[in-house]
Amino acid sequence: MADVKPPVLLVDFENIQDLDHLKRLRNTDYEIRVFLGPQQAKLPTALVRHAQPFGSRLQWIQMEGNGKNALDFHIAYTIGIVVAEDRKRRIFVLSKDTGFDPLITYLAKRSISCERIEELGKFLTAKDANPSPIKPAPTASQASVENLAQTTAPPLAPGKSSGKAPTLTEVILHLNAIPPRTRPKKPKTLAAHLASHFKKQSPGNDFSLIVKELANLGKISITGDKLSYRNK
């Protein structure tokens, strides 16, 4: 079975211009498509800097010609293209325009994961980064992390549950939110930090295994008892 394609974020730039939190998606597999109105010929310098590290994962789509709801129709068309390519792919629309909601409700009834969000910063919290009524099959790397963490977790006191280990996306989003200078500098301290941060979600899990998986995937580099983070 073919792997599910990465989630896609469709940005209504006519409606929302505050994309400061976009940089927190750099080291994830999200694809971003920013839809610009015909009069939005100039972009803020800060936004361009945030966008450059994404490379081909971020696309600018400039509208041509004027018309009522023209940009919204382009986004709706793109949703249709994405769904045609992969019905299991998660789609997020960043817009305060409630006009998208009837379409999203229509898609939900057909088991298609599409959600409108209004605040990118709130969306990128560990809790909201993966909102979806449909949970796609985990990638091999995510399944590896979750299975290892759950099967090797130490016994807990009666009545307590080890919970579910966080996905790699959740871990990476959390690490991206930490200023580089204050990130843990050793594998053991990183494992302890993650265990502390995700303790409510998955108490008792062995986060050293997640650290090893991050290294295997090239997200971090471990040399002896020191580690460095991959900047992308």
How far, in Å, CA of 131 to CA of 140, rounded? 20
Three-state DSSP state, 42:
coil
pTM over 0.85: no
Question: How many distinct structural domains can be found in the chain?
Answer: 2
Instruction: Answer yes or no: do 159 and 117 share one domain.
Output: no
pLDDT in tens, 53-107: 888 889 988 887 777 788 999 999 999 999 999 999 999 999 999 999 999 999 9
pLDDT in tens, 104-126: 999 999 999 999 999 888 877 74
Helix ranges (DSSP H) in the chain: 45-51, 70-85, 101-108, 120-123, 140-151, 168-176, 187-197, 207-216
Instruction: Answer yes or no: do 182 and 210 share one domain.
Output: yes
Instruction: Answer yes or no: do 192 and 117 share one domain.
Output: no
Instruction: Answer yes or no: do 50 and 119 share one domain.
Output: yes
Domain of residue 167: give its range: 140-229
